[in-house]
Structure 1
């Protein structure tokens, strides 16, 4: 494993993320939105997350910038990061599949929206966030640069910190006691812990 191969494989995983998401994005546009929380705050949070997990690593993979902040390369660390990224992609796909027509990139409630508690949702309330945390960790392991590596943790961490409470409030408002019972028996992002 070389730094170039690690970068290219990380970039390939980023493309795989888009390939997984694209069909669900197209299908979700056919469903009628009853409520959408796409406001300035939501756009800003999505932009921050995209910058940390997408823009900064893409620039680094394409150009090597900022090479001055590269860390000494560890092949074992890069391989571990790529394995975590592949696991994140598998979880990412499973969350989309479980959500089906309920999925949305924003905080939204769709016509005939249902509370999904099966599949990967049996274990955590927000497995898609779990997948993004795994991606951010994979980026820190694979792209061994003092700026690029932690950019995903900071970018996605910002979105998570300012969004998850708002999302849970929307679910509580939509599903009431069913949401409360579900939330009481599941963790947010790490099974049995958080």
Structure 2
């Protein structure tokens, strides 16, 4: 029978997975008209929805494995059934540890910021680039210009600490010994590549958004842009 510690961690990880899914899934459908310059338009259709489903399943599966880890004599058959290679798991991400606590806290705080950004913009928050009907400067937008990206960045960073890595249950449990150890360097290199691409995409999108807002609102946007940070107050 799972312990209270593994059960609470599994519940927290499952909750984090659901919140991550909410933060990655478009809150509204495509706008009727789009801004003429949207250089990452190809990533705003089915792509985020597919990523959302994959990440949510990875979180929920990780939570299930966590529920039976570490396995007692009674739970060992269950764990070996749902996780054929449990010896690949990193105990720091399938049991309570400073790493899991920090990662979960980062996800929960990031989700609050991201969902607050959804609420602040309302139907103007779309993954496709479109000029809003008004410039929102209250709520989260009183302090930062792109709180949605700040929140999403925190959610992804927290996910990297638990589920989006080589030792996570979704990979470690199903990778045979030879492949698991031989391909680890490939995963690390791939993760670095994904990080570089992600930062590049973010930079492009922010520039396109700011160009759109400058053209749409002029001096009103310029004044707000000068007095607020882009992502983190007092830092960036």
> TM-score, normalising length from structure 2?
0.61
C-alpha contact (below 8 Å) 2:24/2:152 kept by paired residues: no
Residue from 100, 121, 135 that aligns with 1:115: 135
**Post-superposition offset of 1:83:** 1.2
| Separation (CA, whole Å) in 1 of partners of 2:234 and 2:10 | 33
Per mean C-alpha deviation after superposition, the further-off stretch among 16-25 and 128-137 is: 16-25
Residues 142 and 46 (structure 1), Cα distance of their counterparts in 2 relative to 1, 3 Å cut: farther
Match of 1:93 among 101, 115, 118: 115
Residue 186 of structure 1 aligns with which residue? 228
Q: 2:148 aligns with which of 105, 113, 128?
A: 128
Gap regions ≥5 residues in structure 1? none
Report the Cα distance in structure 1 between the residues aligned to 2:165 and 2:8, rounded to whole angstroms.
Answer: 15
The CA RMSD over aligned residues, in Å, is 4.1
Q: Work out whether residues 120 and 136 of structure 2, in 8 Å CA contact, stay in contact via their aligned partners in 1.
A: yes
Contact 2:149/2:231 (CA < 8 Å) preserved in 1? yes
**Which one has a bigger Cα radius of gyration?**
2
Structure 2: give runs of 5+ residues left out of the alignment: 63-82, 169-186
Q: For 1:66 and 1:176, how far apart are their aligned partners in 2?
A: 58
RCO greater where, 1 or 2, for CA within 8 Å and sep 6 or more? 1
**Which residues of 2 match residues 8-87 of structure 1 at below 5 A?**
9-19=12-22, 24-25=27-28, 33-36=32-35, 41-44=40-43, 55=54, 58-59=57-58, 62=61, 71=90, 73=92, 75-87=97-109
Contact 2:106 2:155 in 1 (8 A): yes
Instruction: State which drifts further: 66-75 or 86-95.
Output: 66-75
Q: How many residues align?
A: 187
CA distance in structure 2 between the partners assigned to 1:21 and 1:145 by the alignment = 18
Change (3 A) 1:115 1:37: same
TM-score by length of 1: 0.72
